[in-house]
Amino acid sequence: MAMTDLLSAEDIKKAVGAFSAAESFNYKKFFEMVGLKKKSPEDVKKVFHILDKDRSGFIEEEELKFVLKGFTPDGRDLSDKETKALLAAGDKDGDGKIGAD
């Protein structure tokens, strides 16, 4: 399954482009722009599984660094600061990774 099976290619392009500058990534705005906020929990989990490159059932810090590339190959890598902020926002139990729930 490709990201464009779940999200609009145009929305992905706009969202990734909006955060192309270093240190500009805002996960709340990005997820809204890409259309995830309007998706069902099932579709959000499908997106999660696409981003879970090692199929561990979790998205670890190393995978988060490449989250924009998970939406489109043209995406940039997140900085360490951006990656840590995204991890902190999604890691609800403090285990250093983000689960599908």
pLDDT in tens, 30-62: 999 999 999 999 999 999 999 999 999 999 999
The enclosing domain of 85 has a CATH number of 1.10.238.10
- The pLDDT of residue 3 is above 90: yes
Burial of 72 by CB count in 10 Å (0-12 exposed, 13-18 middle, 19+ buried)? middle
Query: Which residues make up each annotated binding site for Ca(2+)?
Result: 52, 54, 56, 58, 63, 91, 93, 95, 97
Give the per-residue pLDDT at 35: 97
Q: Which domain, by its residues, includes 21?
A: 3-99
Query: Which residues make up each annotated binding site?
Result: 52, 54, 56, 58, 63, 91, 93, 95, 97
Give the per-residue pLDDT at 1: 87
> pTM of this prediction?
0.91
First-to-last C-alpha distance (Å) of the chain: 20
Q: Report how far residue 83's alpha carbon sits from residue 14's, in angstroms, rounded to the nearest whole number.
A: 20
Per the structure, how many domains does the chain have?
A: 1
Residue pair 68/19 in contact by the 8 Å Cβ criterion: yes
- The pLDDT of residue 101 is above 90: no
Mean pLDDT of 5-31: 96
Give the per-residue pLDDT at 18: 97
* Opening angle at CA 92, ends 86 and 98, nearest 5: 55
